[in-house]
Amino acid sequence: MGSAVAQPLTKPKPDWSLSDMPAQTDRIFLVTGGTSGMGFEDAKALAAAGAQVVIAARNPERGEEAIARIREEVPQARVQFEAVDLADLASVRALTERLSATLPRLDGLINNAAIMAPPQRSTSADGFEMQLATNYLGHFALTAQLMPLLRKSEAPRVVTLASIAVLRGSINFDDLQYEQAYNPYAAYAQSKLAGLMLAFELQRRSDAAGWGIQSIAAHPGVAVTELIKRGPGLDSEFGRQWAEERENFHSAAQGALPTLYAATAAEAQGGAYYGPIGDEEKRGPLGLATVPAAAQDTEAAARLWTLSEQLTGVRFQ
């Protein structure tokens, strides 16, 4: 095992807020899953700071609604919608080809979109377990195929969303697709741990190859979004427990702050993992999130990377 990061990390300002966010004039960002929840808050905040923002998500109607809502608050917003299904590698490739043909560069990629713990196992267009496909493999392929655009930026950043679920996650190399015994929460934790390992491994490979990428991970704690409603369901045991405690959780806007810090703050560091550090990291002030031992296993990260290249047919270069 090795360290997940090479350089010593400095703690962020605990009360960092949108008022601390530097101007993002002329910077170009792509936010996956930006039509609702924290992705929407990311897109709105970046647009308000002067960035050009591409929201990539599945539903064009929700995309139009999101853009209209952003423009109500930020009339000068430069924001556009692009359709993508992260669980379909052909759709991911089509998106990257469109962006490569139309954007001069990409300054920031926020891998935000996710699904959580659908009760029944299902598979993607490519035959992968749906959470692994959406939360991890789609973002792996997207990031790889956007590398040429990212490397045209003077200071490119890739921010990948993890979750406090990574603390109980493991990479099940013997049954990565959960074909033998599907556990929705274990599959979710695995997909989010894979994303965290991607963030760290991308930084290591960027450093080694001179790609110039700052790869950073973030998690929101527990935020009030549509993730539960669309996953296990509000009438599930998990959903009922969540509903009882939701008054104590972050709003989507609060949950977005670690991501926005990672994406924009001058002090944010490649290879870091940011999130709230109060109440078992469910909420509270911004800080350095707990990195589980599994995410520090560099051999496992390299193995997962190679396997992901094989599964997706996509390589970083």
Kindly tell me if the per-residue pLDDT of 4 is higher than 50.
no
Is residue 316 within 8 A of residue 215, CB to CB? The reply is no
In this predicted structure, what is the pLDDT of residue 8? 86
pTM above 0.75? yes
pLDDT tens, residue by residue, 229-262? 555 555 555 555 545 555 556 688 899 999 999 9
Across the beta sheet with 283-288, what order do the strands follow?
78-83, 52-57, 28-32, 108-111, 157-161, 214-218, 273-278, 283-288
In this predicted structure, what is the pLDDT of residue 317? 82
Q: Give 129's strand partners.
A: 123
Average pLDDT score over the chain? 92
pLDDT tens, residue by residue, 274-308? 999 998 888 999 999 999 999 999 999 999 999 99
pLDDT-above-90 percentage for the chain: 84
User: What b/e string do you get for 264-277 counting C-beta neighbours within 10 Å, with b at 16 or more?
Assistant: bbeebbbbbbbbbb
User: What b/e string do you get for 121-148 counting C-beta neighbours within 10 Å, with b at 16 or more?
Assistant: beebebebbbbbbbbbbbbbbbbbbbbe
Kindly tell me if the per-residue pLDDT of 224 is higher than 80.
no
User: Mean pLDDT across the stretch 127-136?
Assistant: 98
In this predicted structure, what is the pLDDT of residue 2? 40
pLDDT tens, residue by residue, 22-53? 999 999 999 999 999 999 999 999 999 999 99
H or E element in which residue 159 lies? strand 157-161
Q: Is 182 a catalytic residue?
A: no
Band (222; pLDDT cuts 50, 70, 90): confident
Kindly tell me if the per-residue pLDDT of 12 is higher than 90.
yes
Q: If we measure between CA atoms, which residue out of 86, 22, 70 comes closest to residue 94? A: 86
Q: Which residue among the candidates 136, 178, 188, 261 is catalytic per the annotation?
A: 188
In this predicted structure, what is the pLDDT of residue 108? 98
Q: What is the largest CA-CA distance in the chain?
A: 51
DSSP 38-103: HHHHHHHHHHHTT-EEEEEES-HHHHHHHHHHHHHH-TT-EEEEEE--TT-HHHHHHHHHHHHHH-
In this predicted structure, what is the pLDDT of residue 90? 98
CATH 3.40.50.720 fits 23-312, yes or no: yes
In this predicted structure, what is the pLDDT of residue 1? 41
Residue spans of the domains in the chain: they are 23-312
pLDDT tens, residue by residue, 70-126? 999 999 999 999 999 999 999 999 999 999 999 999 999 999 999 998 999 999 999
Is residue 145 within 8 A of residue 300, CB to CB? The reply is no
Higher pLDDT, 213 or 231: 213
Q: Which two tokens stand for residue 2?
A: 């090795």
Q: Which two tokens stand for residue 140?
A: 């792996």
User: Mean pLDDT across the stretch 171-175?
Assistant: 98
In this predicted structure, what is the pLDDT of residue 265? 98
In this predicted structure, what is the pLDDT of residue 5? 44
In this predicted structure, what is the pLDDT of residue 246? 53
Q: How many residues does the chain have?
A: 317
In this predicted structure, what is the pLDDT of residue 280? 87
